[in-house]
């Protein structure tokens, strides 16, 4: 059980909070304050795990790749070529404030470091993206019209491409099934 998440042990072995605390204490595991585990502490740890899982869950139900998933624009979009993990955003303030992106493994896991010492300055990244998009969009007026037309089409249809009438019919059928 050493190194495992107490919640996983609870689910796999069917142990309750008391059983998990006894098992952790039997292995010599301690809380972050160096105390022995008690059932209340295990319950609080499980609640905290569940709270974090909900907090960092994406709208489609998946748990985010990294805790930075929805915090910043480029979160989970920039990946490390060495470890495959997402880059994380750092802010440095001394005389000037600068924001940059680095590999989360090199930033957080000091025991496991890779040769990737790349730091991507956010201001430079935004400028490169602006330049690239400007090169793609030659005629801004026609581009805006195309975007507005696409948005108008999506508004008239639901997420799955169904029209508003089809959605109403589906709802009626589902509520009829539910009432049976």
Q: How distant is the alpha carbon of residue 51 from its chain centre? A: 14
Give the mean pLDDT of 74-93: 82
| Axis crossing angle, helix 39-55 with helix 17-27, rounded to the nearest 10 | 100
Is 142 inside a domain boundary?
A: yes
Q: What is the share, in percent, of the chain residues with pLDDT greater than 70?
A: 73
Average pLDDT value over all residues in the chain: 77
Same domain, residue pair 119 and 129: yes
Same domain, residue pair 86 and 126: yes
Same domain, residue pair 23 and 79: no
The predicted model scores a pTM of 0.41
Give the mean pLDDT of 120-127: 90
Same domain, residue pair 70 and 129: yes
pLDDT for 139 beyond 50: yes
Full DSSP string of 17-74? HHHHHHHHHHHT---TTSPPP-HHHHHHHHHHHHHHHHHTB-TTSPBPSSTTTTTSTT
Give the mean pLDDT of 14-37: 86
pLDDT for 67 beyond 50: no
Per the structure, the count of domains in the chain is 3
CB half-sphere exposure, 21, CA atoms < 13 A = 16
Residue 87 CB neighbour total at 10 angstroms = 26
pLDDT for 4 beyond 70: no
Domain range enclosing 10? 6-55
Tokens of 24: 């952790």
Q: Which residue has the higher pLDDT, 117 or 36?
A: 36
């Amino acid at each position: 059980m050493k190194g495992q998440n107490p919640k996983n042990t609870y689910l796999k072995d069917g142990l309750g909070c008391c059983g998990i605390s006894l098992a952790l204490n039997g292995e010599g595991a301690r809380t972050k304050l160096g105390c022995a585990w008690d059932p209340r502490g295990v319950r609080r740890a499980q609640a905290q795990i569940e709270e974090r899982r909900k907090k960092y869950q994406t709208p489609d139900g998946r748990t985010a790749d990294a805790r930075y998933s929805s915090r910043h624009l480029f979160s989970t979009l920039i990946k490390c070529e060495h470890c495959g993990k997402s880059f994380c955003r750092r802010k440095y303030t001394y005389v000037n404030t600068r924001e940059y992106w680095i590999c989360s493994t090199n930033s957080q896991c000091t025991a496991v470091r890779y040769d990737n010492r790349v730091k991507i300055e956010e201001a430079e990244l935004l400028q490169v993206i602006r330049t690239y998009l400007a090169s793609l969009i030659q005629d801004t007026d026609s581009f805006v019209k195309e975007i507005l037309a696409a948005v108008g089409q999506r508004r008239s249809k639901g997420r799955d491409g169904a029209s508003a009438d089809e959605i109403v019919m589906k709802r009626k059928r589902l509520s009829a099934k539910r009432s049976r």
